[in-house]
Amino acid sequence: MTPVEALQKTLAAEHAAVHLYGVLGGQASKSQNPALFRQLDEAYDEHRASRDRLTVLINAKGKAPVAALVDYAVPGPTATPNQIEAVARTIERRVTATYGELVENTAGADRGWAITALDASALRELGFGVAPSAFPGLD
């Protein structure tokens, strides 16, 4: 995978995360579960910032950033707080794995940023209840 392909794949993952966190935020209750709502809101903002950064990186390489899809399948039910957290864990596992690939396929400043983003995604995983691992993003 080329560095630009890895950046595009990561951007596609961030497009999905932004969309899906929007869905999860719409399913969560700010009044009944403020901690979960705040966590989802923060994850949404962080994914938007990463999406925007990836767009800048791809544009700087003279390539057109991959566009977001119209819709994304929610990877599980979202009727309860526990289900919402489970979906958030799935989102973060997917994003963390994608950032692992980005680290593997980039160098220099792009790799440095990818490592920071991988770390942030791994921390979000922990926040949603994923058990810690020695090497986040690896199977």
Report the CATH number at residue 19: 1.20.1260.10
Cα 93 to Cα 107: distance, rounded to the nearest angstrom: 23
Number of neighbours of residue 37 by Cβ within 10 angstroms: 19
Gap between the Cα atoms of 99 and 81, Å rounded: 27
Rounded to whole angstroms, the Cα distance separating 79 from 65 reads 34
Structural domain boundaries, residue 82: 3-127
Residue 61 located in a structural domain: yes
pLDDT digits (tens, 9 = 90+) for 84-132: 999 999 999 999 999 999 999 999 999 999 999 999 999 999 999 887 7
> Does residue 135 sit within a domain?
no
Number of domains in the chain: 1
Q: Is 132 a member of any domain?
A: no
Residue 62 has pLDDT above 90, yes or no: yes
Summary mean pLDDT of the chain: 94
Is residue 64 in some structural domain? yes
Residue 105 within any structural domain of the chain: yes
Residue 20 lies in a domain: yes
Residue 52 domain flag: yes
